[in-house]
Structure 1
Amino acid sequence: MNMKNNKLWYLKNLDIFEGIPEDEMMELAGKVQECMFSKDELIYSPDEAIQSIYVVKRGEVRLYHSKNGKRNVFDVLGPGSLFGGIAFNSDKSTHFAQATHPTKVCIFSEQDFLGVLTKRPELMLRFIKKVTGKIQEYENRLKGRADSAEDVILTELTRLQEKRSQSLFGKWKANGVHITHEELAELTGLNRVTVTRLLKRLKEQKKIATTKAGIELL
């Protein structure tokens, strides 16, 4: 399979592009760039001009803010996830995007991506639903911060397990969550010592287990 056909196959399996005719998909695949990022490499940073839309093809991307040296992670994205210049009200990033593992992304120019959406209202609606779904997810996570620290950790582990267990094409597989105590602290807003203590307690309560696959919910 040559590179263009490989891109075409991948794009056809993204739900946001479902229903686009083959010739339009071929044209789009010819415009998409692929880029590989190593573990912990920054994809972009705050105040950087962003005029591209990124789709995770393989690996994982962490989105976060940083203040006074403290990292506040607000999302972790797996294959099929979109990110980048999709705010429409600014051409600059407000956050960091970083590969957590060796990661390959497909890169669309904003013009090409929006060109596809504006030609097909059903795709624009699908995209808007994705964006509003993300906003709702972030709101729910903020509301959840009012829960007990133990519940916050369990909720975050559940969210991560669901996201990481679903493959790009909608098939599910049972997986543990590979995450360090520091990363979990950054996602929950708790400090690392608290996370370590609570994970130990949850393990003693048999609510989680630690295996080779990572942290598993029981």
Structure 2
Amino acid sequence: MKKDYSKSHHHTYRCENTKQCCIYTIPLFQSLTAEQKEQIHPLIQHKHYSKGEIIYRPGESADSLYVLSSGKIRVYRLSESGKEQLIRIVSEGEFTGELALFKKGFYEAFTEALTDCNICAIKHADFRQLLMQYPATAVDMLATIAERLGSSEQQTAWATTETVKDRLLHFLISLVDSEEREPIVELKMAKKDLASYLGTTSESLSRELAHLEKEKIIEEIAYGKIKLLNVN
């Protein structure tokens, strides 16, 4: 079934309950004082998107940073042949649309609501002023962008040099929390999205998961929750 990439029908709303407003809850703004948050709050536009809606698409003027206050969204590209490549899943408290923050440009990817979402949008011009005024927020944001860049470079390396099995195994290892006693990881995306992220098909991913489990390298202890048993 062909996706409908027509203009999104999101609506704006007022954030009456401060506990639901992203400025008060997301990590990016937590270095600010309560007074500073109050000053920034009027700059934010609150938007609601329904599951399946496109938030922005390639070629649209990039003028805002989008902060997810609830729900989950996916960022992906389409090749000329129509093949989808997942870039990342954006979860509650995270942001997207930052690449054009310091230059006028256009969005280069699709962003789609995976669930019903509430999003806080702030114009790039306003956000640049904010970063100059509050350096701690700028440092926090740069740390996130640097982490994303590293993940993107790793994703490219996997796709061009490794088998699907190795891509999957290295991805699972990258999720392991070194402080946990047992190497158990939880997939925070559907398997079809993981397949897209790893540059393969859902069928190939399922096949490799089965092979790894048969070889007693991993054990799927619950849906989307995997224990690494024998990883060198």
TM category (shorter chain) comes to 0.7 to 0.9
The aligned residue for residue 129 of structure 1 is 143
1:18 matches 2:30:
yes
TM alignment of 1:158-169, pairs within 5 A? none
Please give the per-residue CA displacement for 1:36-61, whole angstroms capped at 9, x wherever unaligned: 22222111000011211011112211
Q: Which has the higher helix share?
A: 1
Unaligned 5+ runs, structure 1: 163-173
Tell me how far 1:83 sits from its aligned partner: 0.7
Contact 1:7 1:29 in 2 (8 A): no
TM alignment of 1:58-137, pairs within 5 A? 58-67=70-79, 68-87=81-100, 88-137=102-151
Q: How big is the alpha-carbon RMSD for the aligned residues of Structure 1 and Structure 2?
A: 2.6
Runs of 4+ in 1 over 6 A off after TM superposition: none
Tell me how far 1:179 sits from its aligned partner: 4.4
Q: 1:187 aligns with which of 180, 192, 197?
A: 197
Please give the per-residue CA displacement for 1:23-48, whole angstroms capped at 9, x wherever unaligned: 22112123322222222211100001
Q: Which moved more, 1:12-21 or 1:63-72?
A: 12-21
Q: Secondary structure at the match of 2:106?
A: coil
The aligned residue for residue 168 of structure 1 is none
> 1:109–1:185: structure 2 CA closer, same or farther, 3 Å change rule?
same
Tell me how far 1:64 sits from its aligned partner: 0.7
Q: 1:3 aligns with which of 2, 16, 20?
A: 16
Please give the per-residue CA displacement for 1:61-92, whole angstroms capped at 9, x wherever unaligned: 11111022211111111112111144323421
Q: 2:58 aligns with which of 14, 30, 46?
A: 46
Identity %: 21
Supply the distance in 2 between the matched residues of 1:15 and 1:180 (Cα, whole angstroms).
25
The aligned residue for residue 147 of structure 1 is 162
What TM-score does the superposition give when structure 1 sets the normalisation length? 0.80
Supply the distance in 2 between the matched residues of 1:19 and 1:194 (Cα, whole angstroms).
44
> 1:137–1:57: structure 2 CA closer, same or farther, 3 Å change rule?
same
Q: Secondary structure at the match of 1:3?
A: coil
Supply the distance in 2 between the matched residues of 1:158 and 1:4 (Cα, whole angstroms).
40
The aligned residue for residue 27 of structure 1 is 39
Tell me how far 1:180 sits from its aligned partner: 4.2
Supply the distance in 2 between the matched residues of 1:27 and 1:7 (Cα, whole angstroms).
17
Tell me how far 1:197 sits from its aligned partner: 1.3
Supply the distance in 2 between the matched residues of 1:196 and 1:182 (Cα, whole angstroms).
9
